[in-house]
Amino acid sequence: MKRFLSPNRQKKLLETLIGLGVHVKIANEFVSVPDDMHEVDLVMKAHVLSVALCRKLNKMDEACKGLACLATIMAEGIDRGLGEDDFPMSLKAIKDDLRGRGMVQ
Protein backbone atom coordinates (compact mmCIF):
# COMPACT_ATOMS: atom_id res chain seq x y z
CA MET A 1 0.00 0.00 0.00
CA LYS A 2 1.30 3.45 -0.94
CA ARG A 3 1.87 5.85 1.96
CA PHE A 4 1.04 9.56 2.11
CA LEU A 5 4.33 10.51 3.76
CA SER A 6 7.53 10.37 1.76
CA PRO A 7 10.06 7.77 2.97
CA ASN A 8 12.25 10.56 4.35
CA ARG A 9 9.36 12.08 6.32
CA GLN A 10 8.30 8.64 7.57
CA LYS A 11 11.82 8.04 8.88
CA LYS A 12 12.10 11.46 10.55
CA LEU A 13 8.65 11.21 12.15
CA LEU A 14 9.41 7.69 13.39
CA GLU A 15 12.63 8.94 14.99
CA THR A 16 10.82 11.91 16.54
CA LEU A 17 8.02 9.79 18.00
CA ILE A 18 10.42 7.22 19.41
CA GLY A 19 12.42 10.10 20.91
CA LEU A 20 9.21 11.32 22.55
CA GLY A 21 8.71 7.91 24.14
CA VAL A 22 6.28 6.27 21.72
CA HIS A 23 6.74 2.50 21.41
CA VAL A 24 8.16 1.49 18.00
CA LYS A 25 5.10 -0.56 17.01
CA ILE A 26 2.73 2.33 17.74
CA ALA A 27 5.06 4.86 16.10
CA ASN A 28 5.07 2.74 12.94
CA GLU A 29 1.27 2.96 12.83
CA PHE A 30 1.44 6.76 13.05
CA VAL A 31 3.82 7.03 10.09
CA SER A 32 1.85 4.59 7.94
CA VAL A 33 -0.86 6.96 6.73
CA PRO A 34 -2.36 5.58 3.48
CA ASP A 35 -2.11 7.75 0.38
CA ASP A 36 -5.85 8.41 0.31
CA MET A 37 -7.09 11.97 0.88
CA HIS A 38 -10.12 10.89 2.91
CA GLU A 39 -7.94 8.75 5.18
CA VAL A 40 -5.35 11.51 5.52
CA ASP A 41 -8.07 13.99 6.51
CA LEU A 42 -9.45 11.52 9.08
CA VAL A 43 -5.99 11.00 10.56
CA MET A 44 -5.37 14.75 10.72
CA LYS A 45 -8.75 15.30 12.38
CA ALA A 46 -7.91 12.65 14.98
CA HIS A 47 -4.60 14.37 15.74
CA VAL A 48 -6.30 17.78 16.03
CA LEU A 49 -8.88 16.40 18.47
CA SER A 50 -6.20 14.54 20.43
CA VAL A 51 -4.00 17.61 20.75
CA ALA A 52 -6.99 19.72 21.85
CA LEU A 53 -7.92 17.18 24.53
CA CYS A 54 -4.34 16.86 25.75
CA ARG A 55 -4.11 20.64 26.01
CA LYS A 56 -7.33 20.77 28.05
CA LEU A 57 -5.99 18.05 30.36
CA ASN A 58 -2.62 19.83 30.59
CA LYS A 59 -0.81 16.82 29.12
CA MET A 60 1.55 18.75 26.93
CA ASP A 61 4.01 15.86 26.55
CA GLU A 62 1.24 13.85 24.91
CA ALA A 63 0.11 16.82 22.82
CA CYS A 64 3.64 17.10 21.38
CA LYS A 65 3.30 13.63 19.85
CA GLY A 66 0.12 14.59 18.02
CA LEU A 67 1.59 17.92 16.97
CA ALA A 68 4.63 16.17 15.50
CA CYS A 69 2.35 13.90 13.44
CA LEU A 70 0.09 16.74 12.37
CA ALA A 71 2.99 19.01 11.38
CA THR A 72 4.60 16.24 9.34
CA ILE A 73 1.39 15.43 7.47
CA MET A 74 0.74 19.11 6.83
CA ALA A 75 4.28 19.63 5.50
CA GLU A 76 3.82 16.71 3.12
CA GLY A 77 0.51 18.18 1.96
CA ILE A 78 2.10 21.57 1.32
CA ASP A 79 4.88 19.92 -0.69
CA ARG A 80 2.19 18.22 -2.78
CA GLY A 81 0.48 21.54 -3.44
CA LEU A 82 -2.45 20.84 -1.15
CA GLY A 83 -4.17 23.47 0.97
CA GLU A 84 -6.47 23.64 3.95
CA ASP A 85 -9.56 23.18 1.79
CA ASP A 86 -8.23 19.76 0.78
CA PHE A 87 -8.71 18.64 4.40
CA PRO A 88 -12.25 19.73 5.31
CA MET A 89 -12.75 17.49 8.36
CA SER A 90 -9.52 18.48 10.08
CA LEU A 91 -10.06 22.15 9.16
CA LYS A 92 -13.49 22.04 10.81
CA ALA A 93 -12.00 20.43 13.94
CA ILE A 94 -9.36 23.16 14.13
CA LYS A 95 -11.94 25.92 13.70
CA ASP A 96 -14.25 24.32 16.28
CA ASP A 97 -11.40 24.17 18.80
CA LEU A 98 -10.46 27.79 18.14
CA ARG A 99 -14.10 28.89 18.49
CA GLY A 100 -14.35 26.98 21.76
CA ARG A 101 -11.38 28.94 23.05
CA GLY A 102 -12.85 32.24 21.79
CA MET A 103 -10.05 32.75 19.28
CA VAL A 104 -12.23 33.01 16.16
CA GLN A 105 -15.83 33.91 15.45
Candidates 13, 16, 19; CA nearest to 31 is 13
pLDDT value of residue 60: 93
pLDDT value of residue 104: 63
User: Is residue 36 left, alpha or beta, with left meaning phi > 0 and alpha meaning psi from -120 to 50?
Assistant: beta
pLDDT value of residue 100: 78
Q: Which parts of the chain have pLDDT scores under 50?
A: none
For the chain, report the end-to-end CA distance as a whole number of angstroms.
Answer: 40
b/e per residue, 15-45, with b = 16+ CB within 10 A? Answer: ebbeeeebeeeebeebbebeeeeeebbbbbb
